[in-house]
Amino acid sequence: MGRHVLLIEDEPNITEAMRFILARDGWTVSSHADGATAVAAVSRARPDVVVLDVMLPGRSGYDILRDLRADPGTRRLPVMMLTARGQLRDRERAESFGVSHFMTKPFSNQEVLETLNSLVAS
CATH of the domain at 93: 3.40.50.2300
Instruction: Tell me the whole-structure pTM to 2 decimals.
Output: 0.95
pLDDT tens sequence for the chain (122 residues): 579 999 999 999 999 999 999 999 999 999 999 999 999 999 999 999 999 999 999 999 999 999 999 999 999 999 999 988 778 899 999 999 999 999 998 889 999 999 999 999 97
For every residue of 42-59, DSSP letters joined together read HHHH--SEEEEESS-SSS
pLDDT value of position 106: 86
In this structure, what DSSP letter does residue 105 have? S
pLDDT at 1: 54
Question: Per the domain annotation, does 122 fall within a domain?
Answer: no
Q: Is residue 28 part of a domain?
A: yes
Let me know if residue 55 belongs to a domain: yes
Residue 97 lies in a domain: yes
Number of domains in the chain: 1
